Structure 1
Amino acid sequence: MSGQYASPPRRPATAHRRYLVEAMCGALALFAASLIACAWVDPYGERDDTQIHFVSRPVTIAKYRRILGETQQTLVFGTSRSHQFSDQFLGESVLNLHAVYGHPTSVLAFLKTLSVSQRRNISRIVYLLDLHTFRPDGPIIDRYYESPADVLRYHLTNLRGYGRDSINHLRLLWSGAHAMHLHPRGFLVQDRPLTFDGIGRDTPDSQDFDPAIVKRLAEVKVFAETNSIEIRFITPVFSDIHLRRLDASRLIAQRRTFAATIGSYAELSHFPGISDRPELFRDESHLNADGLHALFATYPWPERRVDAETMEPLMRDLAGATGTGG
């Protein structure tokens, strides 16, 4: 014996590379399978909007733009508090653009990119001005994913959400437990009775707002006037319970900024005969179908119109509803 130990044999480097390649191929195969499975489930109705669906996402905006190019529509912009605005309540064909949401920059971008024929197909615009859509960090949605490459890129970068929506889609279909479903024109349809129990549980929305963002509403108004489109700016209806949980001074400051920017709007936050009836809400800040029927029965709400003459009485009413008095 020489007294020296031989080095243990080394695994060839090619074996390591082979294992790495196999692992990468497995991961890619799993990724591709997930993407294909989500596309088969089709949670957003991109492939087949004749089936029942439950959610809208920015990737569905291209479909709504195509619809507007073919038929006359009333456009609804806003948040979850306007997501149920539909033909049933407005009495005409509605294209609900909850997927665009309510930030003025998003709304203006959508309108400005419409073709001449699409603009002519707008019957009118209903724009819900919610508490939380004028924040500096508000979501701005100005991409519409109209080409196949753009759609694929959206799904690749949002695969986790795409998968979550696909799983939830199958769960709701199989269980039949859905309280609402999404119409192909973007509005929610209530499938079973939903009634607020009168107990406030929601965390109130942020009431932060940037006056500079609110002032972009003036540009939306100018667009409508330039294109001879009727536009109605409105605020959401809240239950009395929810109103009492809001900061009255910030709420009224926001409303005064609305009026200073667009001149007039419908102040619906405290709506006598609705706000004090929990059975007309599905939770403390969202009307149910019965509540929407009651609300739109008096459209366009001339008695709730804010202008130079009605501003102070309506603001006093709002202050009283929040529990701060006149």
Structure 2
Amino acid sequence: MGEMTSWERVMSALELQKADRIPVIPQLTYAAAKFMDMEIDEALDDFEKQKAALLNSKKLGGYDGVYAGWEGSFTLVTNSLGAPMKKYSDKPPSIEKPLIASKKDLEELPEFVPASLERIQTNMQLIKTLKLEAKDTPILSYIPAPFTLASLILGLSEFMLTVMRDKMNILEDLLQYTYQTTRAFAIAKAEAGVDMITIADPTGSSDLMSPKLFEKHSFPLLKKLIAELQEKKKRIGLHICGNTKPILLKMAETGADYLEIDSKVDLAWAQEAIDGKICLVGNISPTDLSIKPPQEIKQQCETLLKKMKPGFILSSGCEVAYSTPIENIQVMVETTKALK
């Protein structure tokens, strides 16, 4: 088999076909700033700086796909809707306080219109310029799951109480609002030219939410959203952090084209559990990537690669931290080349 382009390599994995080697796509956005001696907040509203950092990171790392983003997609959307945001030099920004505290507050939230929101348009410009300049390379981007976006808008603690006992009678309307918001965000990304859209649903993790509550409240929205977005002829993935072993089969039932699995779950077990029918992405620990020496990361990659069958993309288990040395990204790619 001759050498493939990154595009061919990734598409082969999504089709569960053997490639010239296992593709590598680290979940790496704002960490790219570190490799240019840039602080994260320097580029928050500057797509040119974001683009330069992301392309530099890909060049240094040699990996196969670029995530077009900077801070978390749920933070970006919630901030664009009016929530105050705290910025940092060495970690991604965070929402300072919930956007709403009552049903009346929810009713007063504006419709999410991407074309009218400056920070959302920064992300659209990033997608467009990366698509033009990163030849033969898939461009990926995150959107928040409706369930997770709802938890940011209402505040995680209040949201978890609401999911269990909806005293304000707000949950249905809130999830409808966040569904329409995430759908609009995803369609804007698709129109900007993104190739792969990953829906991030950390609030759905079994570390936070019981599998029954995930199945009742998040799963139906994910399944509906994925089906709608696949009509746009884009590859749609699902990312849920932490322990997803109890909900893995439901994740597969959403119809996603690929699943990003965190380091808490054995990937070989996961591949067997879903009968190898969906591409899996993961799952080197971001903590290990940030603090372990390259030789140890190499050993982890070798162990994982030897267990996995076609239909696999080597990645971090979650977002790559700002403190991560580029050598630990490089060794992921080097290991796949050595074991092809």
Name the TM-score, length of structure 2 as normaliser: 0.33
More helix by percentage:
2
Name the TM-score, length of structure 1 as normaliser: 0.34
Q: RCO (CA 8 Å, sep 6+): is it higher in 1 or 2?
A: 2
Larger Rg: 1
